[in-house]
Amino acid sequence: MKTDIILAGVGGQGILSLAAVIGEAALADGLYMKQAEVHGMSQRGGDVQSHLRISDRPVASDLIPLGQADLIISLEPMEALRYLPYLQKDGWVVTHSEPFENIPNYPEISEVMKVYETLPHKVILNVEQIAKELGTPRSGNIVLLGAASLYLPIDFSKLENGIRRIFGKKGEDVVAMNLKALQAGKKIGNRTIFT
């Protein structure tokens, strides 16, 4: 068993904490993992990505080879498309639907969505909207993780534990808020696939 995941977004959206939750969960599940992150200059409003590799055998490369990612999880619709060359033919893209427009030449969103129409496997959700409705407006990234959890080789309860460990320092209510967001994301992810 091996799952290769690209996490994508814009600096400051919460991609790295999302990666950290999955990483903690995988390690707790006794799995091998490697997760390459981007720090430094690229965090300031630039594109951010993380390569996350989970396996029941030791993982060699820190980077995912082209054409091998099983999953792209993205907090921004155009950013997900940047990593399409990494996606394998049966891979899924799970993305937030709303563009993050901090550049003057962002393409028309309709053009972005046209690319999605050509992809065989995708889940497109407005996770910010869902998070707002939950009363936890800052946990859109964890809603997205909940939706993507259906494609992860990790027990849902392990993800919940991952959230407890990663957000534990920030207090009980932050943990509770994120657990709620994870649950909601899972529910909606389910509905998206089966309807």
Residues of the shown chain interacting with another protein in the complex, contacts defined by CB under 8 A? 10-11, 23-24, 27, 32-47, 59-67, 78-79, 81-82, 84-89, 102-107, 111-112, 115, 119, 171
Q: Report, in Å, the least distance between residue 138 CB and another protein.
A: 12
Nearer to another protein, 38 or 134 (CB): 38
Q: Which residues lie closer than 8 Å to 62 by C-beta, 6 or more apart?
A: 34, 35, 36, 51, 53
Q: Report, in Å, the least distance between residue 30 CB and another protein.
A: 9
Q: Report, in Å, the least distance between residue 155 CB and another protein.
A: 17
Nearer to another protein, 70 or 188 (CB): 70
> Dihedral of CA 65/51/186/77: which sign?
negative
Q: Report, in Å, the least distance between residue 181 CB and another protein.
A: 19
Spell out a b/e string for 11-42, using b for 16 or more CB atoms within 10 Å of the CB, else e: bebbbbebbbbbbbbbebbebebbbebbeeee
Q: Report, in Å, the least distance between residue 74 CB and another protein.
A: 13
Nearer to another protein, 133 or 171 (CB): 171
Strand partners, 73: 7, 94
d(CA 55, CA 35): 12
DSSP strands (E only) in 97-192:
122-125
Contact 124, 97 (CB under 8 A): yes
Nearer to another protein, 77 or 184 (CB): 77
Nearer to another protein, 81 or 127 (CB): 81
